[in-house]
């Protein structure tokens, strides 16, 4: 059992939990994730580790309510427990000195870029961070991202904070003013696809983090299969990070929609 040490609601549908999991906290690296199960009959869901504090033994998970399990999770609060957490899972981000790096997070995907921003800053890179969201109140973790960034650009779809536009417009702005040696994009699938097109147009290497449905998280069930450079890979063990240019985006985006109806029915039944 893992106790929620601290919980905070970040926006209408987004929550920020610190959960006690000392073994995971001592090993977690940027880019890795956990698979969580709230109770014995619960669904297993993957969540990126947004931060880890070895001294207190806590890990930070930031999530958006999108289905029944995340709705159940959002009802928990400080002092409640979660049955099991498996992790850290997945291949970590390659943290090294690239030069100037640009890291774009979209919506709740901002939580997933935080450890990468931190890691790349600590490795001596010039870090340019882009936070994109629909509106000002959805721009999460601004303070933490700013602390580890040489430059922080905010883009909102409605222009209520920072520049008006999508993260891709902010990427163009950065690439047009200085040389970027490598970039990362994490957020909705469409965002990651278009960030890949933008980076590729300017010949900047790009990594994305894929979040398909996962079950075991150990490469055995095949639920998380994705096509990378024409070969089948399992996001849980081969990823979740891949070169954006090698992802079969049409297949990934279509597989992400596969259980949409069932998810909506399940959530509606739970909310009745």
Point out which residues bind ligand FES (CB under 6 A): 214-217, 219-224, 234, 236
Binder of residue 106, out of ligand NAD, ligand FES, none (CB less than 5 to 8 A by kind): ligand NAD
Which residues pair with residue 247 across a beta bridge? 228
Helix (H, G, I), strand (E, B) or coil at 111: helix
Closest to ligand FES by CB, 174 or 214: 214
Binder of residue 157, out of ligand NAD, ligand FES, none (CB less than 5 to 8 A by kind): ligand NAD
Closest to ligand NAD by CB, 57 or 252: 252
Instruction: Classify residue 261 by its DSSP letter.
Output: H
State the Cα torsion 62-117-252-27 to the nearest 10°: -70
In terms of C-beta density within 10 A (0-12 exposed, 13-18 middle, 19 or more buried), how is residue 69 classed?
A: buried
Instruction: Classify residue 187 by its DSSP letter.
Output: S
Least distance CB 125 / ligand NAD (angstroms): 21
Closest to ligand NAD by CB, 75 or 164: 164
Name the closest residue to ligand NAD (Cβ). 107
Closest to ligand FES by CB, 35 or 113: 35
Closest to ligand FES by CB, 136 or 220: 220
Answer whether 42's CB lies under 8 Å from 82's CB. no
Q: Which residues contact 223 (CB under 8 A, 6 or more apart)?
A: 212, 213, 214, 215, 216
Binder of residue 188, out of ligand NAD, ligand FES, none (CB less than 5 to 8 A by kind): ligand NAD
Rounded Cα gap, residues 154 and 35, in angstroms: 30
Rounded Cα gap, residues 94 and 41, in angstroms: 36
Least distance CB 40 / ligand NAD (angstroms): 25
Instruction: Classify residue 119 by its DSSP letter.
Output: H
Least distance CB 133 / ligand NAD (angstroms): 5
Least distance CB 65 / ligand FES (angstroms): 22
Answer whether 3's CB lies under 8 Å from 20's CB. yes
Closest to ligand NAD by CB, 57 or 183: 183
Q: In what order do the strands lie in the sheet with 51-53?
A: 51-53, 58-64, 14-20, 2-11, 81-82
Closest to ligand FES by CB, 22 or 219: 219
Binder of residue 187, out of ligand FES, ligand NAD, none (CB less than 5 to 8 A by kind): ligand NAD
Least distance CB 56 / ligand FES (angstroms): 29
Residues that bind ligand NAD (CB under 6 A): 48, 64, 106-109, 112, 132-134, 155, 157, 166-168, 186-188, 190-191, 194, 209-211, 240
């Amino acid at each position: 059992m893992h106790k929620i040490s601290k919980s905070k609601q970040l926006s209408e549908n987004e929550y920020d939990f610190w959960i006690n999991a000392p073994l995971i906290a001592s090993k977690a690296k940027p880019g890795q994730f956990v698979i969580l199960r709230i109770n014995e009959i619960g669904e297993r869901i993957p969540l990126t580790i947004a931060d880890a504090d070895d001294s207190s033994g806590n890990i930070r998970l930031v999530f958006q309510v999108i289905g029944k399990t995340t709705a159940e999770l959002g009802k928990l609060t400080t002092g409640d427990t979660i049955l099991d957490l498996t992790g850290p899972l997945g291949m970590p981000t390659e943290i090294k000195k690239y030069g100037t790096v640009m890291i774009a997070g979209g919506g709740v995907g901002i939580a997933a870029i935080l450890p990468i921003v931190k890691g790349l800053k600590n490795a001596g890179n010039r870090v340019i961070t882009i936070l994109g969201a629909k509106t000002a109140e959805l721009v999460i973790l601004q303070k933490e991202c700013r602390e580890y960034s040489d430059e922080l650009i905010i883009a909102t779809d409605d222009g209520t904070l920072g520049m008006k536009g999508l993260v891709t417009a902010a990427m163009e702005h950065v690439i047009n003013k200085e040389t970027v040696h490598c970039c990362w994009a994490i957020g909705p699938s469409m965002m990651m696809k278009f960030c890949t097109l933008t980076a590729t147009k300017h010949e900047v290497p790009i990594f994305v983090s894929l979040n398909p449905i996962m079950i075991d998280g150990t490469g055995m069930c095949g639920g998380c299969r994705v096509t990378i450079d024409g070969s089948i890979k399992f996001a849980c063990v081969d990823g979740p990070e891949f070169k954006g240019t090698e992802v079969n985006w049409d297949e990934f985006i279509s597989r992400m929609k596969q259980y949409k109806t069932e998810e909506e029915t399940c959530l509606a039944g739970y909310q009745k």
